[in-house]
Amino acid sequence: MRQSYRDALLGVASCFRRDEAGATVTMFAFAGVVLICMAGVVMDYGRLTKAHSGLQAATDSAALAAARLPSKDAATMRAAAEKFFVANTAGLGGQNIQITKFDFQESTGTVTIESSGVLDTSLMAIAGIKTMAYSTRAAALKEVTGTVEMALVLDNTWSMSDSAGGGGSKITVLKSAAKNLINTILTQGGSNVKIGIVPFADYVNVGVGNRNQNWVSVPADYSVTNTTPAVPYTCTTVTTKQVCTKGAPKTCTSTTDGVVSTYDCTPQTCVQQPVTPYQSCSGGTPAKTTVTNYKWFGCVQSRKTGELRLNDSEPTSPYPGFLGTSQRCLNPIVPLTSDKTVLTAAIDSLIINIGGYKPSTYIPGGLIWGVNVLSPTAPFSEGKAYDTANKMPRKALVLMTDGANTMYFRASDGTHQNATNNGHVTTTNNDTSKICEYAKSKKIEVFTVAFAVTDVAAKTMLQGCASSSGHYYDATDSAALTAAFQSIGQSLTSLRLSQ
């Protein structure tokens, strides 16, 4: 297009030269010829600019159309590009409008298209310039080209049992939104995209199948035997009984992981009153032996050495597993996989409690395992090596939580204890931020979603954790959570023009 404009200016100069050759031409006639030449340049250049803009738009659309296809066959992609190109240049001025070059680089996911056309001039023809050529170039990136690895770090604490507003619990809304996100990304990338799931509460479950891995240290299961001695059959004479009278009705509240529950705490007064004497007999039971079994359910604590709990710089340093008489961690981690059936089944099976076990929130525990899932080294090694440009592969971590940290790390044994003061919470928030910074130092793209979070410090922490302001979502209700996950899915799978 610049060449055509230069030719136009040369044409004006030609007008001047021809005008100077006529000795009998008056100054008025001279000025008229000059004005005609200049008008020709302006008008035809305007037409050229309009044609060039139209051609650029058509070329951009063609590149995006080709990149949008799941197919990586160059011929198939070019056919789609040609179809869009022809449709968008039907009313464009000029002739010989065509795609002159089509290229697809699978290694980078880049579709490149070059196009050109020729415009017939009007007044500039007086200067001998009858046509002007113009050309454009566009490149579009297929964002999902086998290079996306995403870890979903999902809050499954007891607070997720609370209402999400508009019907249904928070965990129900989360399941729906997470499955939609998985479907969006896998539909675009298919088997070349991998997703991992890290449910977290007070602890993380790494899966009992990993017991013998060198990155976890689990003590042997054991049993404790207790024998209750025999109780002889005895009788006593009863002359009184306890009679209790309730006072004014009273309701008390208790809070577990931010969820408030009520219970009857009406006071009562009890006294002993005489009764007609009678015999009360008990006992006569034989000795009884009970066995209490302690086993591993896949639960792990944080690493105690230095700040290894905050990074994966020493993958061979083991995480301590702990035993229990019942399961004290929830669903196991799902390592990176492209199996949609496995992923959706894992989301559907998410739970927020087991019996009386109602876990609290320790975000650093889930966050570091999100990093571990994406890391190319142990504990999980399904991830590819980090790319400093975060393109091959593009690694993303999505942290969703509905509340503030309510626990802290106890360095003496690596356990997570209920926070009893603001200092405990501040320390845990700082640990959360340090893990986010470590993830970002590895060029992991960090998305954070605050789901109905009201704690100001927690929201500030989550904003700082995100890779940018556009990577943070303040989801105040169920509709906003669904929209946030949709936006993340579109961000990871969207097409974009690179040129």
Q: Concatenate the DSSP letters of all residues of 211-251 into one string.
A: TTSTTEE-PPPEEEEEEEPPB--EEEEEEEEEEEEE-S--E
Nearest to 154 by CA among 397, 392, 462: 397
Rounded mean pLDDT of 295-319?
95
Give CA–CA dist 14/37, Å, rounded: 9
Q: What is the pLDDT of residue 33?
A: 53
Q: What is the dihedral of CA 452, 178, 354, 250, to 10 degrees?
A: 20
Strand order in the sheet with 95-105: 95-105, 110-120, 131-141, 496-497
Q: What is the pLDDT of residue 211?
A: 97
Q: What is the pLDDT of residue 196?
A: 98
Nearest to 397 by CA among 329, 451, 467: 467
Contacts 24+ apart (CB under 8 A), 161-165: 161/259, 161/352, 161/353, 162/258, 162/259, 162/402, 164/452, 164/477, 164/478, 164/481, 165/452, 165/477, 165/478
Rounded mean pLDDT of 172-180?
95
Q: Which two tokens stand for residue 98?
A: 């065509």
Q: How sure is the predictor about 39, in pLDDT bands with cuts at 50, 70 and 90?
A: low
The H or E element that residue 306 is part of is: none
Q: Which residue has the higher pLDDT, 80 or 24?
A: 80
Q: Which two tokens stand for residue 210?
A: 């990993």
Asked if 206 and 319 touch (Cβ cutoff 8 Å), the reply is: yes
Nearest to 45 by CA among 115, 127, 138: 127
pLDDT in tens, 45-59: 788 788 888 889 889
Check pLDDT > 70 for residue 497.
Answer: no
SS3 150: strand
Rounded mean pLDDT of 26-51?
64
Q: What is the pLDDT of residue 122?
A: 73
Check pLDDT > 90 for residue 4.
Answer: no
What amino acid occupies position 22?
A: G
Rounded mean pLDDT of 465-478?
94
Tell me what percent of the residues of the chain surpass a pLDDT of 90.
Answer: 65
pLDDT in tens, 194-218: 999 999 999 999 999 999 999 999 9
Rounded mean pLDDT of 471-475?
95
Q: How sure is the predictor about 441, in pLDDT bands with cuts at 50, 70 and 90?
A: very high
Give CA–CA dist 482/492, Å, rounded: 16
Tell me what percent of the residues of the chain surpass a pLDDT of 70.
Answer: 87
Q: Which residue has the higher pLDDT, 119 or 216?
A: 216
Partners of 326 in the beta sheet?
A: none
Task: Please tell me the least confidently modeled range out of 225-234, 242-251, 257-266, 271-280.
Answer: 257-266
Check pLDDT > 50 for residue 2.
Answer: no
Check pLDDT > 50 for residue 452.
Answer: yes
Q: How sure is the predictor about 147, in pLDDT bands with cuts at 50, 70 and 90?
A: confident
- Averaged confidence pLDDT in the chain: 87
Q: How sure is the predictor about 18, in pLDDT bands with cuts at 50, 70 and 90?
A: very low
Whether the model clears a pTM of 0.75, i.e. scores above it, the answer is no
Q: Which residue has the higher pLDDT, 366 or 64?
A: 366
Q: What is the pLDDT of residue 8?
A: 47
Check pLDDT > 60 for residue 249.
Answer: yes
Q: How sure is the predictor about 241, in pLDDT bands with cuts at 50, 70 and 90?
A: very high
Check pLDDT > 90 for residue 347.
Answer: yes
86-90, 110-114, 185-189, 318-322: range with highest mean pLDDT: 318-322
Q: What is the pLDDT of residue 29?
A: 47
Q: What is the pLDDT of residue 67?
A: 81
Check pLDDT > 80 for residue 22.
Answer: no
Q: What is the pLDDT of residue 3?
A: 47
Check pLDDT > 60 for residue 21.
Answer: no
In this structure, the number of other CB atoms found within 10 A of the CB of residue 348 comes to 10
Give CA–CA dist 167/61, Å, rounded: 42
Rounded mean pLDDT of 8-28?
47
Give CA–CA dist 297/221, Å, rounded: 10
Q: What is the pLDDT of residue 458?
A: 96
Check pLDDT > 80 for residue 30.
Answer: no
Q: Which two tokens stand for residue 133?
A: 């050529």
Q: What is the pLDDT of residue 345?
A: 98
SS3 263: strand
